[in-house]
Amino acid sequence: MIHLQCPKCGKAIDVPDDSAGQTSTCPHCGNVNAVPPAAPGEPAGALAPPVVPAQLAEKDARMWAMLCHLGGLTGYVVPFGQIIAPLVIWLIQKDKSSFVDAHGKQALNFQISWTIYALASGILVFVCVGFALLMALAVAELVLVILAALAANDGKPYKYPLTIQFLK
């Protein structure tokens, strides 16, 4: 038996020795995996080396970085979506591109900081100052997220103003 690890789901797959050099379907996730040919002198059933994640093309990296920033706008539709969407995109793509990693951290730091500012403004609603602050925050967030998304799409670095650096 040849022992493989599915690159998609990470589960162990056992395939017959006569499958070497062919493909095998993962019974857990349905991913089609290439079965490597047996190397000379390698014992049967040796574990295949882990698959290194592929690097993103520059165009794809710019797109994912832009989506990290634009994902912050989901907070207007889904509670805490402004943090969840950039976090999910960043966690999935950060190892594939240093550009996405840098923009994802910036987007997350900004959205976490802005959430803190919005909560503080929500408390200040009782002093009548909070309404104006909440409106100013919403407009500023929209403008800054669009500027960051455009910079990411152009392949340029972007640093949000008034942001606490939680992730460095």
Would you list the domain boundaries of the chain? 1-52, 58-153
The single-letter code of the amino acid at 108 is: L
Does pLDDT of 33 surpass 80? no
Which segment of 48-62, 98-112, 131-145 scores lowest on mean pLDDT?
A: 48-62
Least confident of 54-63, 114-123, 136-145, 146-155: 54-63
Share the mean pLDDT of the chain. 87
On the question of pLDDT at 40 being above 70, the answer is no
* Residue pLDDT, tens place only, 64-103: 999 999 999 999 999 999 999 999 999 999 999 999 999 9
Residues 6+ apart with CB under 8 A from 106: 69, 148, 158, 159, 160, 163
Q: How far, in Å, CA of 50 to CA of 53, rounded? A: 9
Considering all CA atoms of the chain, what is the largest pairwise distance in Å, rounded to the nearest integer?
A: 78
Q: Is 134 exposed, middle or buried (0-12, 13-18, 19+ CB in 10 A)?
A: middle
**Pairing outcome for strands 12-15 and 2-5:** antiparallel
Q: Is the pLDDT of residue 128 over 90?
A: no
Radius of gyration of the chain measured on its C-alpha atoms: 23
pLDDT tier at 4, thresholds 50, 70, 90: confident
